[in-house]
Amino acid sequence: MQKLSLPIPAPEALAASEALTQQLRTAVAEQGWIPFSQFMEKLLYTPQLGYYSGGATKLGKDGDFTTAPEISPLFGGTLARLYASLLPAIAPEVMEFGAGTGKLAKDFLTECRAAGIAVRRYAIVDLSGELQARQREALAAFPEVVWLDQMPEAFSGLLLGNEVLDAMPVNLVQRENGVWRERGVALDANGAFCWQNGPQAPAEWLEQITEHEQLPDGYLTELHPVACGFMRSLSQMLIQGQQQTGLHGVAVLIDYGFPEREYYHPERDQGTLMCHYRHHAHPEPFYLPGLQDVTAHVDFTAMAVAASQAGAQVQFYQSQAAFLLGAGITDLLSRTSAEDALSYLPQSQALQKLTSPAEMGELFKVLIIGTGADLPPLLQLQDRSHRL
């Protein structure tokens, strides 16, 4: 592991990280080698100690990264406008996965309340106890908000997932002498974590990489069986919801990533795995277990294929910029007079950050799947799902 110069954690945080490190070391020692997907799952979701299931501050200036809802209420307000345009074809219900600090929910519900848009229930599914506590505080004024322990069997309405797919464990594979092997974690002679390739990767995994036979030896990348499984479950939930209620379901998934042909480009030969700690990005997942986020970019082609195979319709794919502009974010900004510089300029700057190609506008993509509810005409014109 390369030497990193990053902020030093507080003593209690460091103690928690050391406790998780010991658990991980024991797990690896018992098996001799574990797949990286298993290692990553433990890093993120070990009860009380994992990054998402522990108590570390994750979002905002004191956390590790900033998400779109934290930048501006225009983001949540734009999604509320989309929701309103879909009624009454969908049920007046919303479900959000991984709701963070509750900022997206608060902005969404604030816009709905101000515009007189009915929301019968806003359900949140979040595995982080620390974030759930922050959500309950932030959303105390909205009695329609409920928390769920797991995905229900059926749902009709609008489903939101902002930076959810990138938080799911990935499998690493590397091509060695013409054979794709799964990369995992072992212990070196000093008891430190080290990379080690293991058994041949299952053939069904490689279906995610259409050109896998053409990629060179040494090529390292991620595959997404967990996220694909989530997409299948989500699709089945929407289909069940339509069968039970006769109303449509629409899922909006926003994340950073690429379609397959870009994701597995010959020049992207070391994959996209990245760690985030106190607004520093680096590639070392063995550093401070439990205190840093570990993510990979999303293969949106794989997500769309999984949803389609489960029976859902792929209705939209485009950049975050195209989505927000097509869904009316500039209309929300125009409600503030440009002459009121004190109010207008911060909102204008936030919109720029959300839509600029140099910021979040192009790296982040939006995938919409559902059971067939008509999207607003401007979004239909922007759709580039054929490029998946």
pLDDT of residue 8: 84
| Half-sphere exposure for 110 (CA within 13 Å, toward CB) | 15
**Residue 316 has what DSSP assignment?**
E
The CATH code that applies to domain 31-388 is 3.40.50.12710
pLDDT 10s digits, 307-324: 999 999 999 999 999 999
CA distance 388 to 15: 44
The full set of domain ranges for the chain reads 31-388
30: left (phi over 0), alpha (psi -120 to 50) or beta: alpha
Task: Report d(CA 193, CA 224) in Å as an integer.
Answer: 23
Q: State yes or no: pLDDT of 67 exceeds 50.
A: yes
pLDDT band at 127 (very low <50, low <70, confident <90, very high): confident
- Spatial CB neighbours of 77, under 8 Å, sequence gap ≥ 6: 107, 108, 110, 111, 329, 332
Half-sphere exposure of 68 (CA within 13 A, CB side): 32
Q: Which two tokens stand for residue 78?
A: 């734009």
Q: What is the pLDDT of residue 6?
A: 74
- The b/e string for 95-117 (b: 16+ C-beta within 10 A; e otherwise) is bbbbbbbbbbbbbbbbbbeeeeb
What is the average pLDDT score of the chain? 93
110-119 pLDDT, tens per residue? 999 999 999 9
List, for residues 325-334, the tens digit of each pLDDT value: 999 999 999 9
